[in-house]
């Protein structure tokens, strides 16, 4: 170990004795994948990576590190958008990977619960639920890598929040290794339990700053028996919202996802993504609506298709929907979803872009899109707004693409101004500067401004009460 | 003011100056309704009742009391089942009634949110939602008296948890007056907002021990366009659960309530309640299922009636349902619900009874009912189990009626043993000793045993961090 990574030798020896060679990585090549996440916003250093093989091993490792005053950085799938799981540059922070705690301890289709360990990959959790005839509905781009512990620690959202809520809403109980190495077993699978403070909700969304989530009781749902996907060109942002309302009013439980895309973003998809066909090219605003139902279709009558067609017809008559395509097969539905899913990649290939993960009350989404697009255009003439995302829950990725011909680096140098410009509108609309990605390291300096006063004061008092040494994921969430 | 109620005179003067005669009650007759709740398990004393007319007034009153070291007891509708809002016998605790903070600040059928103040009566919140064409689904026996602040502070459950969750799940944001008099404005109406710790979830269910909830953003839902109620005699407890599963698998979103009742309890209803007709008398186990849907019935086809009839037919063929009655009108549906709603009153008229508000995983409800009934019968021969309640969410009110002919007081003297007997089964099944009523003062002595170790230690650290003087509702929740 290099001299400039000061982990006390006795601690390292004790960790090695506790964890064995599979549980403690010190070889620089083994450390490498743990030093930065996939966005590579930050690159840190670590003396070693702890990979416990059991909760008891993790608890003992945490006790040892707490006694030595050594800070710990939890890592799940390492897919943070905000540097939430990257160690700092100081070289003292030990990375703790939960990857080996990846068992499904229990799955019960009658209770509709699954008890899963933190390192289980989200996709594997979805698959296990499906194998038991159920649905675990959390779904997001990184689901093949992100883990149960990670999505809970960040209260991940994704595409299905409009129907199933965020990760928080899908969790009934937790097991947590606390900063002093105590294990809290709160793995209750109860729908009602009013026995003191709801500690589980404190750890969900705390981004590992209060302890390590090691396992969770997750809620399952009946699986979909039919689904439909419609891809619609809409008149404007208001028409997109009106269309959402039409679906919700007709069958609130059927709307699994409702996604907005700008014409420019859809154009980037057609231009840059292989096989990127767009069924209704040339419009300024699009919506993808995904309907699903667990009701058995009675007598061959597909209820959702009738719903989809009826609502689209009404909305066309009202001038809200200009044109629409309906996925006629699983393959077609997947192809329509791909237009939405490839938005980040298409934007990347078009050039430099600045990402904003913001939310507003659902009713304010049209105003958010319009006003922040206009404000950014005043800031940098020629800038290309490519907003897309979860209109049904008010979370729009208000991204901005560089002007044609502008130098990418020069554009990115304006990132802060662009984000500020968007956030000014967000603030005015009663929104949030981080909807689903969290704070991590990227946005800690915004906490005082947005959540300052009584709120931040309370957070800091709670942090001090739960983690008095300040060893849990230091430098994240709180300024 | 009597000498034995030691409120410092300068504090009383300051409160009087701040609040005026409507805002500060000191006359013993005015204090009387605030000294005990409707169950009258405890009767306390208070030097005065503070009734602030604004959040600013409350904040200033809290500051004054904090400076004087005076403890405060929040009261909403005063319908606690566990003495959660009753001052102690010491005479120093000042009751704070939120009754005058009862405005609806905002209601938005597009966002599907309502911002309501703490003192708003639950029924008024339901009515206001209905007036805006929406549904606020929280529903419980005390809804004509219980308040928004009270149901949030206790995370109330009720009949519709199976479909809409508990009070916690119906809340997006809070406004809270903290123990030092700071006001935290967290009235955000966002479906996604990951900006630090979820403080709102800490105050919900804290029973006023961390601060005063003064207002909340509540979630609304589309109103029901059709509903059906079925009253079924079922073979046994397992058949009740199997029937629940049949409905859930066919249309999970349609099951608004699923209630179990024992034959004995239904018999008490028939015997004691005026007009207490039971459509299918003489069975040992009953279920009430309430279906609702916001989907417009298409072409005169009432989808829920078809669902109800189809499921009942299947369940009859399987021998699970022995007989069933369907409410043919709003009046009939209300009459069927009355059998369930009058259970507490019928039990009261039959004699002395011991109440248990317990929950288990949904799959364990048959075992809970059977095993705890048997165990209680071994404890007190002739005891009459009258379990009823929310089978669909695992929360059974496992009540026990005195043996015929036994002295009521002698029976109640065994309350502790009876509760322990039930709780032993609950514990073995991974359940909770307080499902929806909370801890209040009644159950604090069970916290160490059930939630002790790391969990209770964390709760106490959080309490100390948020309310370092320990002035918020002392003696409640934590031992």
How many angstroms separate the CA atoms of B292 and B258, rounded?
Answer: 12
pLDDT of residue A299: 52
Placement of tokens 């093949």 in the chain: A144
Average confidence (pLDDT) over B107-126:
98
C-alpha distances out from residue B322 to A180, A197, B179, B230, Å:
56, 43, 56, 13
C-alpha distances out from residue B34 to B25, B28, B65, B74, B270, Å:
10, 10, 19, 10, 35
Q: What's the token pair of residue B89?
A: 């016998």
How many angstroms separate the CA atoms of B299 and B302, rounded?
Answer: 9
To the nearest whole angstrom, how far is the Cα of A245 from the nearest Cα of chain B?
A: 7
Nearest CA in chain A to B396: A192
- A25 and A71 in a single domain? The answer is yes
Count the helix, strand and coil residues of chain A and give each as a percent rounded to the nearest 5.
40, 20, 40
- A204 and A314 in a single domain? The answer is no
**pLDDT, tens only, A210-240:** 999 999 999 999 999 999 999 999 999 999 9
Whole-number CA gyration radius for chain B: 23
How many angstroms separate the CA atoms of B73 and B472, rounded?
Answer: 7
pLDDT of residue A296: 83
The chain-wide mean pLDDT, for chain A, equals 96
**Torsion angle defined by CA atoms of residues B34, B37, B42 and B45, in that order, rounded to the nearest 10 degrees:** 0
- A108 and A217 in a single domain? The answer is yes
Q: Does A445 fall in a domain?
A: no
Contact residues, chain B, for A195 at CB < 8 Å: 432-434, 438-439, 443, 447, 450-451
pLDDT at residue A301 is higher than 70: no
Q: What's the token pair of residue A40?
A: 């590579």
Interface predicted TM-score of the whole assembly (ipTM), two decimals:
0.96
Domain CATH code at residue B324: 3.30.70.2190
Contact (CB, 8 A) for B245 and A110: yes
**Torsion angle defined by CA atoms of residues B301, B303, B304 and B308, in that order, rounded to the nearest 10 degrees:** 100
* Confidence band, pLDDT 50/70/90 cuts, at residue B8: confident
pLDDT of residue B2: 43
Edge-first strand listing for the sheet containing B94-97 = B24-25, B49-50, B94-97, B72-75
Cβ–Cβ below 8 Å for B194 and A113 = no
DSSP A356: -
pLDDT greater at residue A40 or residue B431: B431
pLDDT of residue B350: 97
Contact (CB, 8 A) for B148 and B222: no
Q: Does B4 fall in a domain?
A: no
To the nearest whole angstrom, how far is the Cα of A193 from the nearest Cα of chain B?
A: 4
To the nearest whole angstrom, how far is the Cα of B206 from the nearest Cα of chain A?
A: 6
- A230 and A339 in a single domain? The answer is yes
Domain boundary among B173, B206, B222: B222
* Confidence band, pLDDT 50/70/90 cuts, at residue B342: very high
Average confidence (pLDDT) over A301-315:
89
* Confidence band, pLDDT 50/70/90 cuts, at residue B3: very low
Contact (CB, 8 A) for B73 and B94: yes
Cβ–Cβ below 8 Å for A458 and B432 = no
Average confidence (pLDDT) over B422-437:
97
Contact (CB, 8 A) for B214 and B175: yes
Q: Does A82 fall in a domain?
A: yes
pLDDT more than 90, % of chain A = 95
Q: What's the token pair of residue A473?
A: 């994921």
pLDDT at residue B1 is higher than 60: no
pLDDT of residue A216: 98
**pLDDT, tens only, A239-250:** 999 999 999 999
Contact residues, chain B, for A463 at CB < 8 Å: 197
Q: Which of B188, B457, B477 sits opposite A432 (nearest CB)?
A: B188
**pLDDT, tens only, B209-223:** 999 999 999 999 999
Domain CATH code at residue B408: 3.30.70.2740
Q: Does B1 fall in a domain?
A: no
Half-sphere exposure of A267 (CA within 13 A, CB side): 13
Short-list A115, A131, A170, A125, CA closest to A146: A125
Nearest CA in chain A to B461: A465
pLDDT of residue A3: 43
Strand B321-326, strand B226-234: pairing? antiparallel
Nearest CA in chain B to A109: B363
Nearest CA in chain A to B478: A196
The chain-wide mean pLDDT, for chain B, equals 96
Domain boundary among B75, B97, B119: B97
Query: CA angle at residue A257 from A253 to A260, to 5 degrees?
Result: 135
Q: What's the token pair of residue A478?
A: 């709180």
To the nearest whole angstrom, how far is the Cα of A469 from the nearest Cα of chain B?
A: 14
Cβ–Cβ below 8 Å for A178 and B458 = yes
Q: How many independent structural domains does chain A possess?
A: 4
C-alpha distances out from residue B237 to A111, B284, B399, Å:
16, 10, 16
pLDDT more than 70, % of chain B = 98
**pLDDT, tens only, A318-337:** 999 999 999 999 999 999 99
Domain CATH code at residue A207: 3.30.465.10
How many angstroms separate the CA atoms of A214 and B422, rounded?
Answer: 31
Q: Does A479 fall in a domain?
A: no
How many angstroms separate the CA atoms of A260 and A241, rounded?
Answer: 9
To the nearest whole angstrom, how far is the Cα of A215 from the nearest Cα of chain B?
A: 16
* Confidence band, pLDDT 50/70/90 cuts, at residue A298: low
DSSP A99: T
Q: Does A435 fall in a domain?
A: no
Size of interface A-B (CB pairs under 8 A): 254
- B111 and B210 in a single domain? The answer is yes
- A196 and A245 in a single domain? The answer is no
How many angstroms separate the CA atoms of A418 and A401, rounded?
Answer: 11
Q: What's the token pair of residue B43?
A: 């009767």
pLDDT at residue B48 is higher than 50: yes
Cβ–Cβ below 8 Å for B192 and A161 = yes
Contact residues, chain B, for A435 at CB < 8 Å: 190, 192-194
Cβ–Cβ below 8 Å for A250 and B478 = no
First to last CA, chain B: 31
Contact residues, chain B, for A184 at CB < 8 Å: 453-455, 458
pLDDT at residue A31 is higher than 70: yes
Domain boundary among A97, A123, A149: A97
Average confidence (pLDDT) over B55-78:
98
Distance of CA A68 to the CA centre of its chain: 33
pLDDT more than 70, % of chain A = 98
Q: Does B433 fall in a domain?
A: no
pLDDT of residue B296: 83
Domain encompassing residue A60: 9-97
Q: Which of A169, A191, A241 sits opposite B161 (nearest CB)?
A: A191
Instruction: State which H helix or E strand residue B251 sits in.
Output: helix B237-251
- B236 and B322 in a single domain? The answer is yes
Cβ–Cβ below 8 Å for A194 and B161 = no
- A124 and A169 in a single domain? The answer is yes
- B277 and B200 in a single domain? The answer is no
* Confidence band, pLDDT 50/70/90 cuts, at residue B39: confident
Q: Which of A184, A393, A478 sits opposite B192 (nearest CB)?
A: A393
pLDDT at residue B431 is higher than 90: yes
**pLDDT, tens only, A428-449:** 999 999 999 999 999 999 999 9
**pLDDT, tens only, A464-477:** 999 999 999 999 99
pLDDT of residue B303: 85
C-alpha distances out from residue A176 to A122, A279, A416, Å:
19, 48, 36
Nearest CA in chain B to A392: B191
- A114 and A83 in a single domain? The answer is no
Number of alpha helices (DSSP H) and beta strands (DSSP E) in chain A: 17, 19
Contact residues, chain B, for A393 at CB < 8 Å: 191-192
Cβ–Cβ below 8 Å for B477 and A169 = no
pLDDT at residue B396 is higher than 70: yes
- Going by C-beta distance under 8 Å and a sequence separation of 6 or more, which residues neighbour residue A84? A37, A153, A154, A207, A208, A438, A439, A440, A441, A473, A476
One-character DSSP codes across B107-120: EETTTTEEEEETTS
Q: Which of A251, A436, A447 sits opposite B192 (nearest CB)?
A: A436
**pLDDT, tens only, A367-416:** 999 999 999 999 999 999 999 999 999 999 999 999 999 999 999 999 99
Half-sphere exposure of A122 (CA within 13 A, CB side): 24
pLDDT of residue B38: 84
Nearest CA in chain A to B427: A188
């Amino acid at each position: 170990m290099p001299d400039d990574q000061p982990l006390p030798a006795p601690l390292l020896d004790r960790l090695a004795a506790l964890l064995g060679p599979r549980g403690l990585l010190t070889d620089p090549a083994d450390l490498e994948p743990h030093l930065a996440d996939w966005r590579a916003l930050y690159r840190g250093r670590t003396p070693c990576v702890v990979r416990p093989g059991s909760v008891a091993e993790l608890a003992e490792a945490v006790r040892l590190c707490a006694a030595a005053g050594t800070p710990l950085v939890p890592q799940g799938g390492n897919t943070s958008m905000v540097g939430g799981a990257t160690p700092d540059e100081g070289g003292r922070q030990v990375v703790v990977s939960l990857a080996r705690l990846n068992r499904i301890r229990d799955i019960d289709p009658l209770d509709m619960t699954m008890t899963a360990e933190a390192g289980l990959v989200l996709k594997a959790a979805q698959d296990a639920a499906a194998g038991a005839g159920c649905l675990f509905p959390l779904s997001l781009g990184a689901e093949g890598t992100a883990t149960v512990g990670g999505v809970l620690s960040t209260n991940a959202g994704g595409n299905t929040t409009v129907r199933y809520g965020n990760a928080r809403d899908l969790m009934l109980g937790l097991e947590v290794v606390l900063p002093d190495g105590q294990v809290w077993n709160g793995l209750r699978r109860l729908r009602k339990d009013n026995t003191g403070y709801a500690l589980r909700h404190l750890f969900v969304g705390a981004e590992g700053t209060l302890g390590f989530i090691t396992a969770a009781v997750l809620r399952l749902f009946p699986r979909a028996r039919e689904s439909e996907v419609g891809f619609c060109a809409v008149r404007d942002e208001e028409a997109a919202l009106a269309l959402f309302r039409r679906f919700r009013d007709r069958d609130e439980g059927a709307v699994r996802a409702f996604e907005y895309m700008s014409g420019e973003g859809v154009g980037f998809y057609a231009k840059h993504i292989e096989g990127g066909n767009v069924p209704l090219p040339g419009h300024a605003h699009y919506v993808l609506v995904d309907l699903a139902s667990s009701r058995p279709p009675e007598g061959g009558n597909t209820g959702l298709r009738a719903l989809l067609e009826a609502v689209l017809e009404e909305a066309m008559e009202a001038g809200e929907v200009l044109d629409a395509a309906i996925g006629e097969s699983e393959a077609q539905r997947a192809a329509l979803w791909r237009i939405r899913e490839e938005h980040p990649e298409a934007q990347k290939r078009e050039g430099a872009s600045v990402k904003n993960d913001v939310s507003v009350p659902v009713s304010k989404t049209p105003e958010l899109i319009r006003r922040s697009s206009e404000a950014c255009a005043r800031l940098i003439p020629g800038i290309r707004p490519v907003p897309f995302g979860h209109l049904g829950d008010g979370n729009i990725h208000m991204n901005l693409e560089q002007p044609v011909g502008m130098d990418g680096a020069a554009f990115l140098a304006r990132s802060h101004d662009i984000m500020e410009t968007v956030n000014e509108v967000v603030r005015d609309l009663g929104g949030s500067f981080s909807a689903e990605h969290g704070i991590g390291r990227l946005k800690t300096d915004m906490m005082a401004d947005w959540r300052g006063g009584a709120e931040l004061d309370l957070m800091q008092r709670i942090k001090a009460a739960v983690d008095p040494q300040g060893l849990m994921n230091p430098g994240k969430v709180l300024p």
